[in-house]
């Protein structure tokens, strides 16, 4: 029988790696699921709810981990957790592979087999396992809701006997999963929405949601996308032209949501302090790239600051502020991933190390970092 452990996250992480629904399905796969008492409380999953679906509730992380074949986490497990694991046990989590290199090497050195869910290949078969998309969807939604709350004015146009309330202008910078959800949410709330991205394929997506597309559409723009669908770093010349266009557009915006990230690199700088100072007092910027340095020059990660009357929010783990939904989706992502690793007939681990999903997410094995994207950093 496979033993799967789930432990509580740190004080800054309200999400959990399992839900009552996924516990039931993991048990059906033949697994014993051991959950640290209280692990799900911040996602409103009580011990009783998890136990009712077949989980064994234990006191302390060590008791959950000691005989586990697999450890499921939201964040990278700590040294104490890794030290409690048996050699060769599997860890599936958001490892933050481009973060603290020394901590990653230390984790690998503990002998666990580490799978980084952020490295999930963008292939059809892996869509149900894509943690970045499931969490970014919620972050994009919450960014608009929080931005609207900070703005303190109505978003839709309202025509009343006393006069007309104009619609708020909302600008989304970066049209990935988070950006598309932000556009959709802003449109539902009645804002006048525009969006920008360096990838040409996003233009049609933006327009299909009823928003206006803003970009310098030159030859470089037409080549600004990797085969995997990510944005490429743009030349200084293109950035200058795009910055000029954005600078003129941003002056008249009420709410700006920035979502631009490039894997393995600091967040691109999209909004300068001069741009912020050109905005109207009372305007709002929500910077979803704050954890990677921020898209806005004035962003302070984890804080909301004010520059010339413009509020700039740099939220950390925005998906975690809707932890019930975030944990439910993340747990389903992990369940789908484990189904690749488990033989349903034998009810045992059966890992095909050449499988595209396994190879794509495997970060460390046998004490060494093995992912090709991380070799150059060694």
Task: Convert the pLDDT of each residue in 12-39 to its tens digit.
Answer: 999 999 999 999 999 999 999 999 999 9
- Convert the pLDDT of each residue in 301-354 to its tens digit: 999 999 999 999 999 999 999 999 999 999 999 999 999 999 999 989 999 999
Tell me how far apart the alpha carbons of residues 132 and 291 are, in angstroms, rounded to a whole number. 14
**299 within a domain of the structure (yes/no):** yes
**376 within a domain of the structure (yes/no):** no
- 128 C-beta neighbours (distance < 10 Å), count: 15
Tell me: do 186 and 299 sit in the same domain: yes
Tell me: do 71 and 219 sit in the same domain: no
Q: C-alpha angle with apex 112: 107 to 118, nearest 5 degrees?
A: 70
What is the reported pLDDT for 233? 73
- Convert the pLDDT of each residue in 169-198 to its tens digit: 999 999 999 999 999 999 999 999 999 988
**63 within a domain of the structure (yes/no):** yes
Tell me: do 303 and 239 sit in the same domain: yes
What is the reported pLDDT for 50? 98
Tell me: do 179 and 268 sit in the same domain: yes
Q: What is the mean pLDDT of residues 116-127?
A: 95
Binned at pLDDT 50, 70 and 90, residue 99 comes out as confident
- Convert the pLDDT of each residue in 253-287 to its tens digit: 999 999 998 877 889 899 999 999 999 999 999 99
For residue 281, give its domain range.
136-316
Tell me: do 96 and 167 sit in the same domain: no
Tell me: do 154 and 289 sit in the same domain: yes
The edge-to-edge listing of strands for the beta sheet with 31-36 is: 56-58, 31-36, 2-6, 70-75, 90-94, 113-116, 362-365, 368-369
The pLDDT mean for the chain works out to: 93
Enumerate residues 6+ apart whose C-beta is below 8 A from 338. 4, 26, 29, 70, 92
User: Exposed/middle/buried for 306, CB within 10 Å: 0-12, 13-18, 19+?
Assistant: exposed
Tell me: do 355 and 338 sit in the same domain: yes
Tell me: do 197 and 308 sit in the same domain: yes
**157 within a domain of the structure (yes/no):** yes
Binned at pLDDT 50, 70 and 90, residue 124 comes out as very high
CATH number at residue 90: 3.40.50.720
Binned at pLDDT 50, 70 and 90, residue 297 comes out as very high
Q: What is the mean pLDDT of residues 149-160?
A: 95
Residue 240 has pLDDT above 60, yes or no: yes
Number of domains in the chain: 2
Q: What is the mean pLDDT of residues 156-161?
A: 94
What is the reported pLDDT for 203? 94
Q: How many residues does this entry show for the chain?
A: 378
What is the reported pLDDT for 311? 98
**153 within a domain of the structure (yes/no):** yes
Binned at pLDDT 50, 70 and 90, residue 378 comes out as very low
Binned at pLDDT 50, 70 and 90, residue 227 comes out as low
Catalytic (active-site) positions: 122, 127, 130, 133, 230
**373 within a domain of the structure (yes/no):** no
Tell me: do 311 and 327 sit in the same domain: no
**346 within a domain of the structure (yes/no):** yes
Which one, of 143, 147, 133, 161, lies nearest residue 282 by Cα? 147
Tell me: do 188 and 285 sit in the same domain: yes
Which one, of 70, 124, 69, 62, lies nearest residue 93 by Cα? 70
**185 within a domain of the structure (yes/no):** yes
- Convert the pLDDT of each residue in 51-60 to its tens digit: 999 999 999 9
Tell me how far apart the alpha carbons of residues 141 and 178 are, in angstroms, rounded to a whole number. 7
Tell me: do 54 and 200 sit in the same domain: no
Tell me how far apart the alpha carbons of residues 46 and 48 are, in angstroms, rounded to a whole number. 5
Percent of the residues in the chain that have a pLDDT greater than 70, as a whole number = 97
What is the reported pLDDT for 272? 94
Tell me: do 97 and 172 sit in the same domain: no
pTM: 0.92
């Amino acid at each position: 029988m496979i033993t799967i452990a789930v432990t509580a996250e740190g004080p800054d992480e309200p999400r959990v790696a399992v839900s009552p629904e996924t516990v039931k399905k993991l048990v059906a796969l033949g697994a014993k699921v051991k959950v640290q008492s209280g692990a799900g409380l911040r996602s409103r999953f009580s011990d009783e709810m998890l136990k009712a679906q077949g989980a064994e509730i234990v006191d302390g992380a060590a008791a959950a981990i000691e005989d586990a074949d697999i450890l499921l986490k939201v964040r990278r497990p700590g040294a104490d957790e890794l030290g409690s694991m048996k050699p060769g046990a599997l860890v599936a989590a958001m490892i933050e592979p481009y973060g603290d290199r020394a901590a990653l090497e230390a984790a690998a050195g503990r002998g666990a087999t580490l799978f980084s869910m952020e490295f999930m290949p963008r292939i059809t078969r892996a869509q149900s396992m894509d943690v970045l998309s499931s969490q970014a969807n919620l972050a994009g939604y919450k960014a608009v809701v929080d931005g609207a709350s900070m703005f303190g004015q109505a978003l839709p146009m309202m025509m009343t006997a006393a006069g007309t309330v104009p619609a708020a202008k909302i600008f989304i910078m970066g049209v990935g999963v988070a950006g598309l959800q932000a556009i959709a949410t802003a449109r539902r709330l009645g804002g006048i929405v525009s969006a920008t991205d360096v990838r040409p394929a996003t233009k049609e997506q933006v327009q299909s949601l009823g928003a206006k597309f803003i970009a310098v559409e030159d030859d470089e723009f037409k080549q600004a996308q990797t085969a995997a669908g990510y944005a490429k770093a743009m030349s200084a010349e293109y950035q200058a032209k795009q910055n000029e266009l954005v600078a003129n557009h941003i002056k008249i915006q009420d709410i700006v949501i920035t979502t631009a990230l490039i894997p393995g690199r600091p967040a691109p700088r999209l909004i300068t302090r001069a741009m912020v100072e050109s905005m109207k007092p009372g305007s709002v910027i929500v910077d979803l790239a704050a954890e990677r340095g921020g898209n806005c020059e004035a962003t302070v990660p984890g804080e909301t600051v004010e520059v010339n009357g413009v509020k700039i929010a740099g939220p950390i783990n925005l998906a975690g502020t809707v932890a019930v939904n975030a944990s439910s989706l993340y747990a389903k992502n992990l369940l789908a991933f484990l189904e690749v690793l488990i033989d349903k007939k034998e009810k045992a681990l059966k890992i095909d190390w050449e499988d595209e999903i396994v190879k794509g997410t495997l970060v460390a094995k046998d004490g060494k970092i093995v992912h090709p994207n991380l070799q150059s950093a060694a």
